[in-house]
Amino acid sequence: NGTILRCSNTKELLEKHLKATGGKVLTRFPPEPNGYLHIGHAKAMFVDFGLAKERGGGCYLRYDDTNPEAEKKEYIDHIEEIVRWMGWEPFKITYASDYFQDLYELAVELIRRGHAYVDHQTPDEIKEYREKKMNSPWRDRPVAESLKLFEEMKQGLIDEGKATLRMKQDMQSDNFNMYDLIAYRIKFTPHPHAGDKWCIYPSYDYAHCTVDSLENITHSLCTLEFETRRASYYWLLHALDLYQPYVWEYSRLNVSNNVLSKRKLNRLVTEKWVDGWDDPRLLTLAGLRRRGVTSTAINAFVRGMGITRSDCSLIRFDRLEYHIREELNRTAARAMVVLQPLKVVITNLENGSILDLDAKKWPEAQADEASAFYKVPFSNIVYIEQSDFRLKDSKDYYGLAPGKSVLLRYAYPIKCTDVILADDNETVLEIRAEYDASKKSKPKGVLHWVAQPSPGVNPLNVEVRLFDKLFLSENPAELDDWLADLNPHSKVVIPSAYAVPELRNAVVGDTFQFERLGYFAVDKDSTPEKLVFNRTVTLRDSYKS
C-alpha cells in the first residue's frame, strides 16, 4: 500500500517515468468494449499506433472497461482480432480493470488528502447543483466519514444509487467538467474481465488519467470532445502526485450518410435494422471487411484525411470508395456475372458445340502468361443483362437492339436477328442472334455475358447483394428521428445471378471485379451449394445524386 504514491517531486516522477519507458514514446488505444470498432476507430488507431510506430515506441491496446453493464467478452475478443486485422501490433494488451485495486487505493489516498468525498445526491440533484454552481451538502463532511462510507460502498453495504465518490474539484470554475466529477459509483453488476470482485466501479474521468499515468503513457491522444476534460485529467494526477502524460486532441471522424456512435450502432444491431455488427452497410471495421474492403484501403483513407484539430469532420463516403477502387483495381481478379439474365440463342452455332475461350483474369497481365487468363465456355445459349437490351435503338445507346450488333467481351460480335416477346408484346423473353465467327465486324458496345457450359445445364447460380447508402441524409446523427431516415433500398438481394464457371472455387473473402458491375467479395453466408457475393463498390462513382 502506498508504493505508487511515494514519489512526490517532479524530478523524481520524471526519472521514474523515464526509467519505465527508456525514453521511448508510449501511447495507448483505449476502446471501451461496448461494441464493435468502426472507421472512426481506424483513425484513432492510426494516430495512437501510428505515432508510436513512427517513433520506434509502443502502443498499448487498453480496454477501457469501467462500465460493466455495456461491456461484453464478445466485444473484447472482436477488438483484439480487428486491431490486428488493421495491421497494428499492440505493445501490450491491458484492461483498465487490471488496475482496479491500484485505483481503489489511490481513491482512498485522495479522500485522505481531502480531495474527494462520499456524496448522496441523486443524479437530478447533482445536475441542478452544478447548474447553480452550488456545493453538495456532503462536500465538507469529515475525511474520516468519507473513508468509512467509501469502505462500506466497496463492501456492498450501501445500495446502488445511494452514494458516489466525488472529486472535490472546483464548483466555481468556468469549466463544467470541473464540477466535482464522479470518481466511483456503486453497481452490483459482474464485470466481463474482473468478475464479481467489485461492486464499486471507477468513472472514465477517474480511471483514464490514472491508468495513463500508471502505464507511463507519454502521449495521451484523444478526440476533441475530451478537450474540456483535460483540466480534470491534470487536476487528479496533480492531486495524487502522479506522473502526468502529455494530452493532445484531434478531430473526430464522421462519414456521410451513416452513423458511427456505438450507441446508435448498437440500436441498429439489437433492433435488427441491419444484419449484425458486421452488416456490410455499416462502417464498422467488421462490416467493411465483410463488404470486401481491405485494411490497406481503410488506412490509406485515414492517412489521406490527415490528423488535424479542425472540425471538417463529415467526410463523404466516396472518399473511401476512391481508396477501395484504387486497391481492388490492382488486386481483384476479373470475372463475368450476369445479374438479370436475358437468354440469347445463337442460331448459327450448333447446339452442343462449346468453344473454350480465354478471358482476362488480371488487368495488366501479359498475353503470354498462362495465369493471366481463365477459361470461359461459349455456346449457343448465352445470357446478357436485361438492361443491355432495348426494343428501341437510339444514337447514344451501345447495348443490343433488334438488328444491332454488340461485342461479347473475350468472344465474338453478335447481331440481334429476332426478339421473342410475351403476350403483353413488351416483355422480352428471348433474343435470337447470329455470331460473327470471323470477328470482322467491330461494334461499339461491349457486353459482359455468361453462357451455358454444356447443353441443358444452366450456368453457375450465385446470390449477389448490392448495397447503397444506409441513410438518406448526409448527417443522420443530427436528426431527432434518425431511424426514420434509413434508406429502405440500402440492400438489394439478387437471389440467382449467372456466373462464369471459374468462380466456382471462390472462397469467403476473395475479391473480384465483375466486369462492368463493380468489385465484389465472397460473403460468409456462402454455402457449398451457393456462393453469395457482396458488392464492395461500383466501378465508377455512382454516389452522385
Q: Which residues are catalytic?
A: 32, 252, 262
**HSE of 231 in the Cβ direction (CA atoms, 13 Å)?**
13
Segment contacting ligand ATP by CB under 6 A, of 39-47, 173-181, 424-432, 450-458? 39-47
Identity of the residue, 289 or 535, whose beta carbon is nearer to ligand ATP in the bound complex: 289
Identity of the residue, 72 or 343, whose beta carbon is nearer to ligand ATP in the bound complex: 72
Name 280's Cβ contacts closer than 8 Å, sequence gap at least 6.
Answer: 287, 288, 290, 291, 292, 465, 467, 523, 534
Segment contacting ligand ATP by CB under 6 A, of 26-34, 227-235, 289-297, 360-368? 26-34
Among 51, 149, 260, 411, binds ligand ATP (CB under 6 A): 260
Identity of the residue, 43 or 404, whose beta carbon is nearer to ligand ATP in the bound complex: 43
249 binds ligand ATP (CB under 6 A): no
Put residue 126 in one of left, alpha, beta given phi > 0 → left and psi -120 to 50 → alpha.
Answer: alpha
Closest residue to Mg ion: CB criterion? 32
Helix (H) or strand (E) holding 159: none
Identity of the residue, 107 or 265, whose beta carbon is nearer to ligand ATP in the bound complex: 265
In angstroms, what is the minimal distance from the CB of 71 to ligand ATP? 10
The values of phi and psi at residue 249, to 5°, are -115, 155
Segment contacting ligand ATP by CB under 6 A, of 30-38, 341-349, 395-403, 416-424? 30-38
The CA distances from residue 438 to 5, 412, 414, 416, in Å, are 89, 8, 11, 17
223 binds ligand ATP (CB under 6 A): yes
Helix (H) or strand (E) holding 430: strand 428-435
80 binds ligand ATP (CB under 6 A): no
Of 313, 312, 320, 326, give the one whose Cα is nearest residue 283. Answer: 320
406 binds ligand ATP (CB under 6 A): no
275 binds Mg ion (CB under 5 A): no
In angstroms, what is the minimal distance from the CB of 60 to ligand ATP? 12
**Residues between 32 and 61 with contacts to Mg ion, criterion CB under 5 A:** 32
The values of phi and psi at residue 308, to 5°, are -130, 175
Of 344, 346, 380, give the one whose Cα is nearest residue 455. Answer: 380
Of 527, 109, 88, give the one whose Cα is nearest residue 299. Answer: 88
Question: Regarding beta strands 518-522 and 219-223, do their DSSP bridges make them parallel or antiparallel, or are they unpaired?
Answer: unpaired
Q: How many of the chain's residues bind Mg ion (CB under 5 A)?
A: 1
In angstroms, what is the minimal distance from the CB of 88 to ligand ATP? 13
32 binds ligand ATP (CB under 6 A): yes
CA distance 275 to 523: 13
**3-class secondary structure for 252-275?**
CCEECCCCCCHHHHHHHHHCCCCC
266 binds ligand ATP (CB under 6 A): no
Identity of the residue, 26 or 44, whose beta carbon is nearer to ligand ATP in the bound complex: 44
44 binds ligand ATP (CB under 6 A): yes
Put residue 332 in one of left, alpha, beta given phi > 0 → left and psi -120 to 50 → alpha.
Answer: beta
**HSE of 286 in the Cβ direction (CA atoms, 13 Å)?**
17
Name 357's Cβ contacts closer than 8 Å, sequence gap at least 6.
Answer: 375, 376, 377, 378, 410, 411
Identity of the residue, 44 or 359, whose beta carbon is nearer to ligand ATP in the bound complex: 44
Segment contacting ligand ATP by CB under 6 A, of 108-116, 157-165, 254-262, 459-467? 254-262
61 binds ligand ATP (CB under 6 A): no
- Cα torsion 116, 122, 127, 132: sign: negative
Among 61, 108, 217, 253, binds ligand ATP (CB under 6 A): 253
41 binds ligand ATP (CB under 6 A): yes
Name 438's Cβ contacts closer than 8 Å, sequence gap at least 6.
Answer: none
Identity of the residue, 32 or 318, whose beta carbon is nearer to ligand ATP in the bound complex: 32
In angstroms, what is the minimal distance from the CB of 27 to Mg ion? 16
- CB-based burial label for 126 (10 Å; 0-12, 13-18, 19+): middle
Q: Is 407 helix (H, G, I), strand (E, B) or coil?
A: strand
**Residues between 189 and 208 with contacts to ligand ATP, criterion CB under 6 A:** none
Among 185, 262, 289, 291, binds ligand ATP (CB under 6 A): 262
461 binds ligand ATP (CB under 6 A): no
**Residues between 429 and 448 with contacts to Mg ion, criterion CB under 5 A:** none
Identity of the residue, 261 or 473, whose beta carbon is nearer to ligand ATP in the bound complex: 261
Q: How many of the chain's residues bind ligand ATP (CB under 6 A)?
A: 15
Segment contacting ligand ATP by CB under 6 A, of 232-240, 259-267, 393-401, 496-504? 259-267
User: Where on the chain is the footprint of Mg ion (CB under 5 A)?
Assistant: 32
User: Where on the chain is the footprint of ligand ATP (CB under 6 A)?
Assistant: 30-32, 40-41, 43-44, 64, 222-223, 252-253, 260-262
